[in-house]
Structure 1
Amino acid sequence: MAELENCKGCGKLFVRVSSPYCPACLKKQEAQFEQVYRYIRQQEHRMATVSQVHEATDVSVNLIYQWIREGRLKPSIFQNLGYPCRSCGKMIQNGVLCDDCLKKLEHDIDQDDDEHDAALKANRVKTYYTRGESRHN
């Protein structure tokens, strides 16, 4: 359902259908995307990094990161393009976390599970029944 919202780019009030950007900002972003894509498509710029693309095109680094995350710019084709891990900032080409942070997170979760299981075991209360009581009350 459409909602009134301020544009994430210019702050102008608009009716949001799907994108957080107004039609004018979307048009501007599309022109910037075409500029970036034309630049990196050239044979001599295929190995450019995000900062090199930013310097050559003057397009926001965050916007370039967004296009890589969305899959519009493919690191499989342009191998030096990437975006920072949300935890440590190391450059990655897919997902949200780098392999190191993902392994650390998995380890922490496993450790928490082990601690939780140990706490449950320690707090387990024994139940004793008398002769007249039934176990299925």
Structure 2
Amino acid sequence: MVELSNCPECYSLFVKTPFKTVCDTCSKEEELQFEAVYSYLKQSKNRSATLVTTAEETEVSEDTILKFIRQGRIQLANFPNLGYPCQKCETLIRENKLCLTCSKDLKTQLFDLEREEERRQKVTEEKATFYTFQPKNK
């Protein structure tokens, strides 16, 4: 779906698509930043660099590097010390959106909620009274 939007970087007007989230000018700048990050990381001595080190050495913001990782432009399998934050607790992770602890916690909460809903349903059914209507014969 395409829509008219303001660029989140420079606020200029552009046509936003699922694959294009910034204007042409910012897109070119972003591409240069990607090239800088990728060139830095592909050097064998830098393959074990962390997110902070990579950001400092390339002068590209951590948020922009994280965007490249989320877009799949930087494959974490090749860079053992890179990761992105868990959406709940900010712990660095390498896959999914939540770390194992938060994922387990969420599953527990959902299970508890489901059990509570079942309990409420059972109580409601036990208290339910049903009446039948039988018309009087004349």
TM-score, normalised with respect to structure 1: 0.89
Moved over 3 A (4+): none
Aligned counterpart, 1:6: 6
Return the letter of the residue paired with 1:82: G
Q: Distance in 2 between matches of 1:66 and 1:14?
A: 20
Aligned counterpart, 1:43: 44
Report how many aligned residue pairs link the two structures: 132
Alpha-carbon contact 1:65-1:83 (below 8 Å) kept: yes
Q: Deviations over 1:20-71 (max 9, x none)?
A: 2001111110110010000011111000000000000110101111111121
Aligned counterpart, 1:63: 64
Q: Distance in 1 between matches of 2:77 and 2:85?
A: 17
Return the letter of the residue paired with 1:4: L
User: What's the secondary structure of 1:96's corresponding residue?
Assistant: coil
Shift of 1:102: 0.5
Q: In structure 2, which of residues 127, 130, 134 is the aligned counterpart of residue 127 of structure 1?
A: 130
Shift of 1:5: 1.1
Q: Distance in 1 between matches of 2:35 and 2:27?
A: 12
Q: Distance in 2 between matches of 1:118 and 1:108?
A: 15
Aligned counterpart, 2:95: 94
Aligned counterpart, 2:114: 113
Q: More helix by proportion, 1 or 2?
A: 2
Return the letter of the residue paired with 2:17: V
User: What's the secondary structure of 1:59's corresponding residue?
Assistant: coil
Q: Distance in 2 between matches of 1:116 and 1:17?
A: 41
Shift of 1:99: 0.8
Shift of 1:129: 4.8
Return the letter of the residue paired with 2:67: Q
Aligned counterpart, 1:77: 78
Equivalent pairs: percent with the same residue?
Answer: 37
TM-score, normalised with respect to structure 2: 0.89
Shift of 1:15: 2.4
Q: List runs of 5+ in structure 2 lacking aligned partners.
A: none
